[in-house]
C-alpha cells in the first residue's frame, strides 16, 4: 500500500450542531479526523493553521489516527516570555520521572499537583522560602513564589518537539504547501464574502458555503488564459454596462470577467 499523502485541513462533511453553537478550530479537529477516517481519507500528515494546532491536538491525532499534525504552535505567552526579560517556563527543567522542577537558579520543587480543576495541566509551586531570598526574584515572579503549569509528559514533549521542528528548513518547506490553501480561503472569505451568510440556520449556511466553494473551483481555472490567441475576455453584462455608465460600483459578488 502506498504511503498516505499529506492533506490540508478542512471538513469533508457538515457536522450537526445545536442552534447558536460555536466551536473553536482546535475543538473541531477530532471531528474532522473522524469524518476523514469514515471516508477512508486519513492522511499521513495533516497541515493545519495555528488555530487548529495545539499540544492536545498533536497527541490526539498521533494516538487515535496515526496522523502527524503539522502546524505552528504559539510560543510561551507568559509575561516573562513576552518581555524577553526574566525567567519564562522554558527556563525551568521539568523532570517527569522524579516529579520535580528545577528553577534557573538551581532551586528544586517537588510540590507536584495534578488538580482536577487544572486538568490536564500539572501545577508545581515553589515555596516562599525558596523564592523570597532569591536575588533574581523580580525577574521570575511578582508574587510571593513562582508557580509553573505544564501539560502531561506526552503532550508536553510533542509540543516542544513541534516548536523545535518549526526552526527546521524541511518543516518550513512542507508547511509552505499551505500557501495555496490560504489563497483559496482568502478568495472564499474575501472575494465571495463567505463570512456573511445570506440565510438563517446552519443547514442553509452549509449549502451556501458548498455552492460558494463550487463557484471558487470553477472560477479558478476560468482565469487561466487558453493557448488560443483569439481568446477574449467575456464582455460585461448589460447590468454591468449600466453600472459603469452611471459611475456606480460593481458589488464584489458580480465578477468582472478578469
Over residues 84-95, the pLDDT tens digits come to 677 888 889 999
pLDDT of residue 103: 93
pLDDT of residue 3: 47
% residues pLDDT > 90 (the chain): 23
CB-side exposure of 93: number of CA atoms within 13 Å?
10
pLDDT in tens, 135-178: 888 888 888 999 999 989 998 988 888 888 888 888 888 888 88
pLDDT of residue 223: 62
Contact 76, 89 (CB under 8 A): yes
Averaged confidence pLDDT in the chain: 80
Q: Which residues contact 112 (CB under 8 A, 6 or more apart)?
A: 99, 100, 101, 122, 124
Q: Which residues contact 32 (CB under 8 A, 6 or more apart)?
A: 9, 10, 11, 12
pLDDT in tens, 177-211: 888 778 778 778 877 777 888 888 888 888 988 88
Query: Domain extents for the chain?
Result: 6-74+159-194, 79-154, 195-223+234-258
pLDDT of residue 255: 45
pLDDT of residue 131: 93
How would residue 12 be classed by pLDDT, with cut points 50, 70 and 90? Answer: very low
Name which residue leads in pLDDT, 117 or 18: 117
% residues pLDDT > 70 (the chain): 77
pLDDT in tens, 54-84: 888 888 998 999 999 998 887 766 666 666 6
pLDDT of residue 78: 64
How would residue 254 be classed by pLDDT, with cut points 50, 70 and 90? Answer: very low
DSSP 155: H
Mean pLDDT, residues 118-124 taken together: 89
pLDDT of residue 209: 87
* pLDDT over 60 (residue 258): no
Amino acid at each position: 500500500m502506498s504511503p498516505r499523502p499529506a492533506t490540508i485541513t478542512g471538513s469533508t462533511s457538515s457536522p450537526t450542531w445545536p442552534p447558536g453553537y460555536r466551536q473553536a478550530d482546535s475543538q473541531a479537529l477530532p471531528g474532522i479526523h473522524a469524518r476523514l477516517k469514515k471516508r477512508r481519507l486519513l492522511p499521513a500528515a495533516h497541515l493545519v493553521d495555528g488555530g487548529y494546532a495545539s499540544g492536545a491536538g498533536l497527541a490526539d491525532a498521533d494516538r487515535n489516527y496515526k496522523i502527524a499534525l503539522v502546524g505552528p504552535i504559539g510560543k510561551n505567552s507568559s509575561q516573562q516570555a513576552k518581555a524577553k526579560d526574566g525567567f519564562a517556563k522554558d527556563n525551568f527543567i521539568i523532570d517527569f520521572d522524579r516529579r520535580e522542577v528545577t528553577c534557573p537558579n538551581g532551586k528544586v520543587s517537588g510540590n507536584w499537583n495534578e488538580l482536577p480543576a487544572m486538568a490536564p495541566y500539572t501545577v508545581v509551586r515553589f515555596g516562599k522560602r525558596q523564592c523570597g531570598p532569591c536575588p533574581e526574584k523580580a525577574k521570575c515572579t511578582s508574587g510571593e513564589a513562582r508557580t509553573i503549569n505544564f501539560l502531561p509528559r506526552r503532550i508536553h514533549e510533542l509540543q516542544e518537539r513541534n516548536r523545535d521542528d518549526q526552526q527546521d528548513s524541511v518543516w518550513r518547506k512542507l508547511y509552505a504547501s499551505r500557501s495555496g490553501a490560504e489563497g483559496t480561503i482568502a478568495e472564499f472569505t474575501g472575494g465571495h464574502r463567505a463570512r456573511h451568510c445570506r440565510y438563517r440556520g446552519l443547514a442553509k449556511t452549509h449549502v451556501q458555503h458548498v455552492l460558494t466553494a463550487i463557484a471558487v473551483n470553477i472560477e479558478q481555472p476560468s482565469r487561466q488564459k487558453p493557448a488560443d490567441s483569439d481568446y477574449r475576455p467575456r464582455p460585461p453584462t448589460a447590468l454591468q454596462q449600466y453600472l459603469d455608465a452611471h459611475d456606480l460600483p460593481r458589488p464584489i459578488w458580480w465578477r468582472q470577467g478578469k
